[in-house]
Amino acid sequence: MDSISIAISKGRIGKEASTVFKKIGLGDSIDINSRKLIFKDEKNKINYIYVKPLDVVTYVQNGVADLGVVGKDIILEKDSDVYEIYDLGFGKCKFAVAGKKNKHTYSKDKLLKVATSYPNITKKYFDKKQQKIKIIKLNGSVELAPLVGLSDVIVDLVETGNTLKANGLYIIEEMFDISARLICNRISYRFKYDRIFNLVEKLKELKH
């Protein structure tokens, strides 16, 4: 049996991925509460690599991991060369444009200042709308930007909307839905197809 390596995002998606793999009998070696970064499942010949979300795609794309579990937001932002082979159905949220009520100006004739942690996704979205924008890249607390006049609007992930409401912001446009995805290295998909196919089938059975 071919061995496979799976890169899993740290954080909430990693926690849910661990639960899902355990439900299909493959994740007993994973202990996300430990400080270990590699978990070896000798019985099923699987190595789990526990890394930051942005690094999951890098590990898979470079063939260090055959598979990866990561949010669709990361896949879109990294514009990576990997196969997206299964929607795991957890980690659901959405991308949205948000701003202050009655304060945003949204005209194609005016340069829109957009604060975001996702510059590539933001650029592609507004390019399609033919909206001129200036992207202000932030690494966190994006909601602060329109409140202090740094931007007109923000583009960010929204799960419950509570953070927006707490800061007096509201959703102007919903862009698209996001969830956790199983991704695959292109070469691994070809040469380890049987193992990967069987794993995906087990994940599908779990949903039914």
The per-residue pLDDT for range 52-73, each reduced to its tens digit, is 999 999 999 999 999 999 999 9
Residue 40 to residue 48: CA distance in whole angstroms: 6
Predicted TM-score of the model (pTM): 0.87
Distance (Å, rounded) from C-alpha 152 to C-alpha 105? 7
Statement: residue 107 has pLDDT above 90: no
pLDDT of residue 80: 84
- For position 110, what pLDDT does the model report? 87
Q: pLDDT tier at 105 (50, 70, 90 boundaries)?
A: low
82 and 132 housed in the same domain? no
Domain that holds residue 80: 4-91+179-205
Same domain, 19 and 87: yes
Pair (86, 161) in one structural domain: no
Residue 4 has pLDDT above 80, yes or no: yes
Q: How would you classify the pairing of strands 67-71 and 112-116?
A: unpaired
Residue 207 scores a pLDDT above 90: no
Same domain? For 185 and 129 the reply is no
* Number of separate domains in the chain: 2
pLDDT at 106 over 80: no
User: What per-residue confidence (pLDDT) applies to 208?
Assistant: 63
110 and 188 together in one domain = no
Structure-token pair, residue 92: 């659901």
Report the CATH number at residue 100.
Answer: 3.40.190.10
Asked if residue 45 and residue 17 are part of one domain, the reply reads yes
Residue 179's alpha-carbon distances to 48, 94, 138, 159, in angstroms, are 20, 8, 22, 11
- How confident is the model over 129-168, as pLDDT tens digits? 999 999 999 998 999 999 999 999 999 999 888 989 999 9
Residues 65 and 84 in one domain: yes
**99 and 84: one domain?**
no
Question: Both 188 and 120 in a single domain?
Answer: no
| Contact criterion met (CB below 8 Å) for 154 and 116 | yes
Average pLDDT (66-82) is 92
Kindly report, residue by residue over 114-124, the tens digit of the pLDDT.
Answer: 999 999 999 99
Model confidence pLDDT, tens digit, residues 16-64: 999 999 999 988 888 888 888 999 999 999 999 999 999 999 999 999 9
How far apart (Å, rounded) are the C-alpha atoms in residues 68 and 6? 5
- Strands 93-100 and 153-158, by their bridges, are antiparallel
Please check whether residues 155 and 186 belong to one and the same domain.
Answer: no
Q: Are residues 52 and 152 in the same domain?
A: no
Q: Do 18 and 39 fall into the same domain? A: yes
